[in-house]
């Protein structure tokens, strides 16, 4: 019997979309042999993430906890405070205090600095054959989120390594080696941010860390553990998805030169182009929920306590929702993708990520007459949840 869904399959990591099409056609509401449900149609995915009868609190699941180092481990201990894994009032309390840094107005105020950073990074890259991930897509959002949070420039590489490791905690397939690495990183990152928090309280600045250190929502000040955990989460929300959106987006345009040329000719399409790029190759492929009551999805009923994977990547290629979904079309209307999730847990860094991606594409097209893939041998990162390239070798012609 064919396995319909296996996130450990290397062919799925390289190109999940044919797998999604087969799954959607065979069994769109799929009960796996491992006991969890998988949703691949847009309608059910959107319905599930917006349902009041689901929870994100996977840190309460014994099996999930066991495979990530146990209840007493630093990694699971951190997730207990992540707004991503909190529901209802607890989620709103923390998200409400963080939101101020990610509003449309706050993001727009970052425009001059982000444009400056993009130009500096491209000046360093120059032209010829370069790696667009290492030289641009990665350092840009890491620098932006470090400056936004308020962490020293010299610590960016360490913070990225820590959060890359810890971010794998939401991946559906965890190896013992990955579990050990994420727990080491969580312990080190916690102590690092604890010290930064101490410094910020002694010398407040205009940054997210100072904001959270002083935040007081309805008389309920955030604890140090809550601040530290959610600063860690912000790093993943603020850079991981953006690295992938830029890298996946540039790759998609290079593989569709007609769309790349159209964007050159009609720069006013940039906003819709970024939405379409996010839909076409989602930077976040999957999210998990647990039902807290029976949930009716079409002709299927998921029982209370069901573990559910919602496939944002599959939903974004659903032909019922998006005609001709495997075609990249930057003029596509009504995209409104689930690439960044949906419902109360919609990615808090989505607006910033799309903003950065648009500025990157604008400057690339302004500066270079020709951009070409330097190789067809591309390597995708092993994390199934966050879909992104290890590197993107391109040839840039000024």
Closest CA to 199 of 162, 233, 152, 156: 152
Q: Are 76 and 68 in contact (CB under 8 A)?
A: yes
pLDDT of residue 220: 65
Whether 237 and 283 have beta carbons less than 8 Å apart is answered as: no
Domain that holds residue 145: 57-280+340-397
- The CA–CA distances, whole Å, from 33 to 2, 36, 294 equal 11, 8, 20
Please measure the distance between the N-terminal and C-terminal CA atoms of the chain and give it in whole angstroms: 53
CA–CA gap between residue 253 and residue 328 (Å, rounded): 8
The whole-angstrom separation of Cα 121 and Cα 132 is 10
DSSP 33: T
Extract long-range pairs of 21-30: CB within 8 Å, 24+ residues apart.
21/317, 23/311, 23/314, 24/314, 24/318, 29/297, 29/298, 29/300, 30/4, 30/5
Structural domain tally of the chain? 1
Say if CB 9 and CB 19 are below 8 A apart.
yes
| Closest to 102 (Cα-Cα) out of 381, 289, 356, 375 | 356
Q: 320 lies in a domain?
A: no
CATH number where 78 lies:
1.10.630.10
* 386 three-class SS: strand
Separation CA 285–CA 352 (nearest Å): 19
Report yes or no: 145 and 167 within 8 Å, Cβ to Cβ. no
- At residue 390's C-alpha, the angle toward residues 388 and 395, to 5°, is 105
224 lies in a domain? yes
Residue 232 lies in a domain: yes
Each residue's pLDDT expressed in tens, for the chain with a length of 398 residues: 467 888 888 888 889 999 999 999 999 999 988 888 999 999 999 999 999 999 999 888 888 899 899 999 999 999 999 998 999 999 999 998 888 888 888 889 999 999 999 999 999 999 999 999 999 999 999 999 999 999 998 998 898 889 888 888 888 778 899 999 999 999 999 999 999 999 999 999 988 899 888 865 455 688 999 999 999 888 877 788 899 999 999 999 999 999 999 999 999 999 999 999 999 999 999 999 999 999 999 889 999 999 999 999 999 999 999 999 999 999 998 888 898 888 888 888 889 999 999 999 999 999 999 999 999 999 998 888 889 999 999 999 99
Per-residue confidence (pLDDT) for residue 358, from 0 to 100:
97
**Residue 169 contacts residue 68 (beta carbons within 8 Å):** yes
d(CA 67, CA 76): 10
pLDDT at 307: 94
3-state secondary structure of 390: coil
381 — phi, psi (to 5°)?
-65, 155
Query: What separation in angstroms does the CA of 251 have from each of 280, 281, 324, 337?
Result: 11, 10, 19, 19
Task: Give me the half-sphere count of Cα atoms (radius 13 Å) on the Cβ side of residue 277.
Answer: 30
Phi then psi for residue 273, to 5 deg, are -65, -45
Alpha helix locations (H) across the chain?
10-14, 17-26, 42-50, 62-66, 74-79, 88-98, 104-109, 111-125, 132, 139-149, 156-166, 176-202, 208-214, 224-235, 241-254, 257-265, 270-280, 312-315, 350-367
pTM above 0.75, yes or no: yes
CB 124 within 8 A of CB 135: yes
Q: What tokens does 183 get?
A: 């727990």
Q: Identify whether 204 is part of a domain.
A: yes
Q: How far apart are CA 143 and CA 153, in angstroms?
A: 7
- Listed as own residue / partner, the contacts of 218-226 with beta carbons closer than 8 Å and 24 or more positions apart are 218/93, 220/93, 222/94, 222/97, 223/81, 224/194, 224/197, 225/81, 226/81, 226/94
Does residue 148 lie in a domain region? Answer: yes
Phi, psi of 353, rounded to the nearest 5 degrees? -60, -45
């Amino acid at each position: 019997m064919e396995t319909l869904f296996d996130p450990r399959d290397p062919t799925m990591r390289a190109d999940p979309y044919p797998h999604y099409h087969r799954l959607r056609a065979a069994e769109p509401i799929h009960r796996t042999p491992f006991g969890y449900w998988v949703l691949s149609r847009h309608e059910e995915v959107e319905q599930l993430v917006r349902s009041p009868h689901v929870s994100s609190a996977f840190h309460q699941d014994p099996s999930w906890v066991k495979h990530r180092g146990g209840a007493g481990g630093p990694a699971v201990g951190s997730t207990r405070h992540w707004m991503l894994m909190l529901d209802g009032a607890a989620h709103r309390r923390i998200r409400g205090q963080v939101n101020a840094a990610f509003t449309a107005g706050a993001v727009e105020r970052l425009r001059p600095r982000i444009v400056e950073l993009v130009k500096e990074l491209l000046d360093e890259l120059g032209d010829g054959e370069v790696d667009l991930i290492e030289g641009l897509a990665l350092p840009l959002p890491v620098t932006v989120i470090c400056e936004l949070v308020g962490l020293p420039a010299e610590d960016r590489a360490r913070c990225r390594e820590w959060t890359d490791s810890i971010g794998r905690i939401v991946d559906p397939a965890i190896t013992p080696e990955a579990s050990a690495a994420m727990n080491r990183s969580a312990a080190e990152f916690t102590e690092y941010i604890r010290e930064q928090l101490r410094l910020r309280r002694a010398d407040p600045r205009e940054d997210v860390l100072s904001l959270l250190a002083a935040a007081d929502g309805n008389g309920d000040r955030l604890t140090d553990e809550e601040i530290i955990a959610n600063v860690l989460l912000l790093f993943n929300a603020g850079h991981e998805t953006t690295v992938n959106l830029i890298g996946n987006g540039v790759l998609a345009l290079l593989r569709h030169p007609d769309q790349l040329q159209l964007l050159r000719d009609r720069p006013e399409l940039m906003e819709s182009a970024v939405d379409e790029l996010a839909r076409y190759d989602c930077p976040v492929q999957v999210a998990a929920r647990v039902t807290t009551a029976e949930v009716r999805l079409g002709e299927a009923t998921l029982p209370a306590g069901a573990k559910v994977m919602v496939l944002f990547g599959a939903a974004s290629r659903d032909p019922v929702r998006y005609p001709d979904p495997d075609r990249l079309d930057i003029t596509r209307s009504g995209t409104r993708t689930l690439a960044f999730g949906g419902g109360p847990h919609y990615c808090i860094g989505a607006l910033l990520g799309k903003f950065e991606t648009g500025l990157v594409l604008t400057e690339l097209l302004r500066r270079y007459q020709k951009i070409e893939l330097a190789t067809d041998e591309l390597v995708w990162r092993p994390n199934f949840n966050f879909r992104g390239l290890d590197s993107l070798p391109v040839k840039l012609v000024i």
